Amino acid sequence: MIPLKINNFGFVRVAAASPQLKVADCDYNTAEMKTVIGRAVQEQVQILCFPELGITAYSCGDLFFQEALQRKALASLNDLALFMHDKPSLIAIVGLPLRIGSNLFNMAAVISAEGILGLVPKTHIPNDREYYEKRWFARAADLTTGSVTIGGKEVQTAIGGMLFQTPFATFGVEICEDLWMPAPPSSLLAMQGAELLFNLSAGNELASKHRYRKSLVRQQSARCNAAYIYASAGCGESTTDMVFSGACLIAENGTLLAESPRFSTESELIIADIDVEALRHDRLRNTNFGCAAPQPLDEIGCHIDPVITAELRHPVPAHPFIPAAEHADEFLSEVFSIQTEGLAKRLRHTGIGKVTIGISGGLDSTLALLVTIATFDRLKLPRENIVGITMPGFGTTGRTYANAMGLMRASGITVKEISIVEAVKQHFRDIGHDISDRSVTYENSQARERTQILMDYANRIGGLVVGTGNLSELALGWATYNGDQMSMYGVNASVPKTLVASLVRWIADNRMDQTSRAILHDVLDTPFSPELLPAGAGGQIAQQTEHFVGPYELHDFFLHRMLRYGDSPARILFLARQAFDGTYAREELAKWLRVFYKRFFAQQFKRSCMPDGPKVGSVSLSPRSDWRMPSDAVAAVWLQELEEASNEQIPES
């Protein structure tokens, strides 16, 4: 990949470190921190968090009362600040005991090339059977001065909280126990604008505690729509009755991005690029983040250099709608259950016990049939009340016809075969269309004839038409208006094409008999096609959808980034290059993204009157709840930005 400024695309590089420390040996600890800082600078980390009281080590006990240790800790802080003077790319957060007046505070110091930027005291001081911090440290509420003099300079202290504003993100700091409280200070920091939350910690290890710790970090990052960076004391601080493991965690909006090995004998450094742009998008949609907090927090501006790198340290899944293998069974089962319950509710509410569904031998109608069968089984309705109608036309191939018939027969539903060829020919004669003219009229007439058959047959039996179209087709407008675009309930309406395939494969492998499984796997291997043009030589499919509109895996990626995160064209192109590196060239990505925008904007009118259908995930195009877009919106702004991003000169590495 070519080196790029990742900050330009909304990412900030952060790290959590757990250096090997010695209890009460400030010189040794400072030297270890300097080594880690050097590594972080090489890795272009922009904000680095160390553990709680790291300059002295956490487990000093009554040594904290010793003036010699207090003075040495302060001198070491000045030493670290001096060490940072020639490192304008990095901000470091370190912990130390700091005496202010007649109180000793468990303090976090934020330092950079600009010096000591600010001091944040620990808010909640534990006093339980493991931690006796109230013996040594005062609460943040006991801090009465807004600044202290360190090294001859005034340094601001946080009374009630503090925000640090960089050119790329705003961050806040809390310390260990603060996270474990019912109302962590980081919640207020997030509500006031902090997008990155750092925690200097020194939690000891107990059996099963780490699982709970990870849960807290993930949940707080999700609750705050923020990144949470947690750095904990390492094995070097283990002493007397307590063992520390050096647990470091980085989570973003509920997802764990990085985790250090525990009980390491080496200094650990974990790094992740935080997608601040995505966090801001979620906060923009969550209007509660606009609510004013009880009192404004102090704000400190600080500088960091941008990151120029070819490696984005943030997962960018190429197939965002497809679950990770370890979660696949639970996720796919939930999606299938939501689809099934949606249709079941519609049937219960209307009192309808029969349906018609068009079966083409393709993926979408196959999934819709599987959902319908599961629904009827759940409602204890006979499968014979499902009327599957296959409607061969000019482009139907033997492969798809055989799969359609085989699946219906194996499923025990009522099978109907109604050819549309003669009806469409008559229609061409009625409207004066030359059958050799294979334009849009030739194609759409077939789609509308099929829909008419399904609707009229449903009326004849007192039934309901189950729609088969998927989310990807709705996004691209790859559907005939008042043809396959229309139904009485669309069970696949919020299921994108890539997920349709995953669902069918999962159902085939987990819920079907051997005969049906073989048919489903052949359906999965069949190229996507509406089969509206005559077959090619040897009866092969002549009209493959992805040759016209582009790969569905790309369009699903584009759709997810645009709707879930509100990403701009330049950002989507940047992320697509990360996700599909080695699969698609930059020019090809730009080409299909251009197609996506043109079709997405031009085809909104089809989505504005789409039928009801169950929402199964975070992305939906329903005009009633999830996507309200004017049908006549212009795509010029998006296409112009895409052209500029496509033509931008990429610097040589």
Q: Residue 503 belongs to a domain with what CATH number?
A: 3.40.50.620
- Rounded Cα distance between 251 and 197, Å, is 10
Distances (CA, A) of 618 to 383, 625, 626: 32, 12, 9
pLDDT > 70? residue 529: no
Helix/strand/coil percentages in the chain, nearest 5: 45, 20, 40
Parent domain of 493: 325-647
Say which amino acid occupies 489.
Y
**Could you tell me if 241 and 334 lie in one domain?**
no
Residue 652 domain flag: no
Tell whether 176 and 255 lie within a shared domain.
yes
Q: Which of 176, 224, 235, 248 is flagged as catalytic?
A: 176
Q: In the structure encoding, which two tokens stand for residue 11, read together?
A: 């990412």
Q: Is 122 a catalytic residue?
A: yes
**Of 32, 52, 268, 473, which is the active-site residue?**
52
Tally the domains of the chain.
2
Whether 302 is catalytic = no
Domain check: are 224 and 305 in the same one? yes
- Answer yes or no: is 316 within a domain: no
134 in catalytic set: no
Q: How many CA atoms lie within 13 A of 37 on its CB side?
A: 25
Q: Which residues contact 180 (CB under 8 A, 6 or more apart)?
A: 124, 216
Do residue 140 and residue 285 come from a single domain? yes
Is residue 653 domain-resident? no
If asked whether residues 232 and 334 sit together in one domain, one would say: no
| Crossing angle (nearest 10°) for helices 276-285 and 552-565 | 60
Name residue 38's amino acid. G
Catalytic residue among 72, 87, 122, 354: 122
In which band, very low, low, confident or very high, does the pLDDT at 538 lie, cut at 50, 70 and 90?
low
Per-residue pLDDT at 534 = 72
Same domain for 433 and 526, yes or no, is yes
Shared domain check, 398 and 509: yes
Q: Which amino acid is at 570?
A: A
116 close to 155: Cβ distance less than 8 angstroms? yes
- 387 shares a domain with 290: no
402-455 tens-digit pLDDT: 999 999 999 999 999 999 999 999 999 999 999 999 999 999 999 999 999 999
The answer to the question of residue 482 being in a domain is yes
Cα 299 from chain centroid (whole Å): 30
Query: pLDDT tens, 584-605?
Result: 999 999 999 999 999 999 999 9
- pTM, to two decimals: 0.92
Of 266, 281, 309, the last residue of a domain is: 309
pLDDT at 162: 93
Would you place residue 104 in the very low, low, confident or very high pLDDT band (cuts 50, 70, 90)? very high
Question: Residue 564 and residue 496: Cα distance in Å, rounded?
Answer: 13
488 found inside a domain: yes
Shared-domain flag, residues 329 and 303? no
Q: What is the CATH number of the domain that holds 298?
A: 3.60.110.10
Would you state the structure tokens that stand for residue 631, as one six-digit string? 């049908």
Which of these, 63, 198, 177, 200, lies nearest to 130 by C-alpha position? 177
**Is the residue at 164 inside a domain?**
yes
Is 375 among the domain residues? yes
Is it the case that residue 68 has pLDDT exceeding 70?
A: yes
User: Do 285 and 383 lie in a common domain?
Assistant: no
pLDDT band at 127 (very low <50, low <70, confident <90, very high): confident
Helix or strand or coil: residue 400?
Answer: helix
**Quick one: 115 and 211 in the same domain?**
yes
Residue 646's φ and ψ, nearest 5 degrees, are: -70, -35
What pLDDT was estimated at residue 289? 76
pLDDT given at position 512: 93
- Do the domain assignments include residue 317? no
Distance of alpha carbon 274 from its chain centroid, rounded?
12
What backbone torsions phi and psi does residue 16 show, to the nearest 5 degrees?
Answer: -125, 135
Tell whether 496 and 450 lie within a shared domain: yes
Confidence band, pLDDT 50/70/90 cuts, at residue 651:
very low
**Beta carbons within 10 angstroms of residue 191's beta carbon:** 19
CB 397 within 8 A of CB 530: no
* Element (DSSP H or E) covering residue 410: helix 398-411
